[in-house]
Chains A and B, each alone.
Chain A
Amino acid sequence: MRQIFTVFRKEVTDNLRDRRTLMSALLFGPLFGPLLFAGMISLTLERSIGESVEALRLPVSGVDNAPSLMRFLSQNNVDIVDIALTMEAARAVIDAGSEDVVLIVPDGYGEAIRAGKPAVVQLVSDNANSNATKSIRRAERLLSAYERQLGALRLLARGINPAVINPIAVEDVDVSTPTGRSIMLLGMMNYFIIFSMLMGGLYLATDTTAGERERGSLEPLLTLPVERWRLIVGKVLATCLFMVLSLAISLLAFSVSLAFVPLAEVGMASNFGLPVAARIFLVMLPFALVGAAGMTAVASFTKSYKEAQTYLQVLMLVPTLPIIVAALFTLKPTLSLMLVPSLSQHLVITGLMKADPLSMVFVVVSFASTLGIGLLLLGLAARLYRREGILG
């Protein structure tokens, strides 16, 4: 135990003194993701929110014929453009595509309203023009809303409860969260979290194996009365520590940067505060062992520092694959998926972020299975270290 701790302490001290390690492990790695992610997410949100808030531009011919309709439209965020157009002229304008939709209020409108007869208005649009669909729908919705309002008033004026003409009240119960986009975004966020962990351990995994050999410090180390598995465990634990530090920094950065982003708009719990961050931290914890032991095992194979870095950079992409698959096929969490490291963390964190946490059994299976696979990889790394070829 003492020997393991000695190795652990030495590797931590050694790497804490290396500026390059610190920069990549504790600065670049953990901050790159949160910054990029927050920037991207707020751009997407700005665009989608911006659209619905923007006033609907609606050219109206015969504004004076319907003052109260105009008032209603103005109150509902419609930018009324007063123009005089005949039906033919309106058609031409729509055909040319210079306006999405035009409203014509004929001269007889006021009279018909006063007489309690259906008053005709014409909404000119090109339904085949998909760019205009949004504006057309909005105009239609507003007009029918006004119609219902008028109708209800008329019934009231005649002493009838307006509810009698609504024999059936359909309530839309929408159980979907706006997931389509959020699954992609969550997948990205989860990968950034994993990425920052792996970045945190990358330098240690190479330095403690390939680096040690290249420096020529491995051979004297192996002549000490220390079993090799103890050396590996100490080294992997040091790598784990850096990965966990990087994870913590990354989550802190996420919780700070996302505090400025309206997450609820994309279907994530809007409270990516410290409690959620702390839970994500716990969920990710066993992945540190998988990453550290996996990277150490791969680095043990390589002949030089450079070769190790090349392989490890490829290896860092591996945890993305299950996340991409999950995003493409919208995988629902099942117990067997919880056995897969990176995928299980992704699903558990997705649940947390959507304020729809998975059952504790899933979380425990994810934790235990990832830890188990981490221990297997650690065993593999220790085995690789026992080879004579380790000296290169």
Chain B
Amino acid sequence: MIEARGLKKSFGKVQALRDVSFVAPDGKVTGLLGPNGAGKSTTLRILYTVLNPDAGTAVIDGADIRLDSMGVRRRIGVLPHSAGLYPNLSARENIAYYGRLLGMQDDALQQRIDELAGLLELEDVIDRRAKGFSQGQRTKVALARALVHKPRNLLLDEPTNGLDVMATRALRELILKLKNEGICILFSSHIMQEVAALCDEIVIIGGGRVVAAGTPEALRQSTGEQELEEAFVKVIGSAEGLQ
């Protein structure tokens, strides 16, 4: 479970986050929805502890991001916006590097990689160098890398970026599968349909604030709009940055 409380963050004079609070429960997919530049990535970066908040904090499965960043990192799997691989290493080596850094023993690690390769349909390329991988393959390997230590919380920053329809579908199915295993999944997107199709909870961010939150149903009701997109436009105040 991820709980953000009053996160604030400025870069120089730019106030990226003014006040972000929300809860992403276990066994649910929570979508962080907002136009470009709303603060989605900054929020996620604070949650996966590469940025420090100026104020506020967040707690992930009991670990506070400000007090126990190592504990937080052990509890999360992360697919950042730019999830680069090492082109000279095979997919397996890319994943194993993270596994070893996470303290996994070799036997368990190789077993886990085979398991992930099966889950993500990577068997054909698992021992190939990452140099010539397609965007879809790269995302899958990066996802396998994020899942190698079976984290209970998964943070994905615009994971479907650059994926074709088939790869997007496959990713969606995987997210649902992980959700059913009781994992807390938080992912950001600016794509309405994606969020609508996947999310149990939606947190809408605009201008560095949470402007609305709740189930898709609740959002529709509170805004009095039947279509989620209309509801979104209403709470954000404009259709800017939406697809």
Contact = CB atoms under 8 A, between A and B. Distances in A.
A220 B145 contact: yes
B101 A18 contact: no
Contact of B50 (A2, A6, A216, A219): A219
B146 interface: yes
B82 A216 contact: yes
B80 to A, nearest CB: 4
Interface stretch (B68-76, B173-181, B227-235): B68-76
A328 interface: no
B100 A6 contact: yes
Interface in A159-215: 212, 215
Given A7-B101, A216-B83, A216-B84, A223 B89 contact: no
Interface stretch (A9-17, A122-130, A287-295): A9-17
A391 interface: yes
Contacts of A225: 70-71, 73-74, 101-102
A217 B45 CA distance: 15
B196 to A, nearest CB: 28
A222 interface: yes
Interface residues of A, number: 25
B73 A13 contact: no
A361 interface: no
A220 B83 contact: yes
B48 interface: yes
A388 B98 contact: no
A388 B51 contact: yes
Interface string A245-260: 0000000000000000
B85 interface: yes
A3 interface: yes
Nearest to A215: B84
A217 to B, nearest CB: 4
Nearest to B146: A220
B142 A220 contact: yes
A224 B102 contact: yes
B80 A219 contact: yes
A335 interface: no
A210 to B, nearest CB: 13
B116 interface: no
Contacts, number: 77
Interface in A1-42: 2-3, 6-7, 10, 13-15, 17-18
Nearest to A230: B101
B86 A14 contact: yes
A226 interface: yes
A217 B85 contact: yes
Contacts of A3: 100-101, 103
A220 B86 contact: no
A219 B82 contact: yes
Given A17-B88, A216-B84, A217-B86, A223 B49 contact: yes
A186 to B, nearest CB: 39
Nearest to A16: B88
B116 to A, nearest CB: 15
Contacts of B51: 388
A219 B48 CA distance: 10
Interface string B84-105: 1111110001000110111100
Contacts of A7: 101
Contacts of B85: 215, 217
A217 B84 contact: yes
B146 A226 contact: no
B59 interface: no
B52 interface: yes
B1 to A, nearest CB: 18
Given A14-B89, A215-B84, A217-B86, A223 B52 contact: no
B195 interface: no
B97 A6 contact: yes
B79 interface: yes
Given A216-B84, A217-B84, A223 B101 contact: no
Interface string B40-72: 000001001111100000000000000000110
Contacts of A217: 83-86
B24 interface: no
Contact of A223 (B73, B87, B88, B129): B73
Contact of B88 (A14, A220, A222, A227): A14
B78 interface: yes
Contacts of B78: 220, 223
A91 B80 CA distance: 92
Nearest to A390: B50
Contacts of B52: 388
Contacts of B89: 10, 13-14, 17
B138 to A, nearest CB: 10
Contacts of A15: 88
B82 A224 contact: no
B73 A391 contact: no
Interface of B: 45, 48-52, 70-71, 73-74, 76, 78-89, 93, 97-98, 100-103, 129, 142, 145-146
Q: Which 5 A-B pairs have the closest CB atoms?
A: A216-B82, A216-B84, A217-B84, A215-B84, A225-B73
10 contacts: A6-B101, A212-B84, A215-B85, A215-B86, A215-B87, A216-B80, A219-B80, A220-B80, A223-B76, A388-B51
Given A6-B101, A391-B45, 9 more contacts: A13-B93, A212-B84, A216-B83, A217-B83, A220-B78, A220-B84, A220-B146, A226-B101, A388-B50
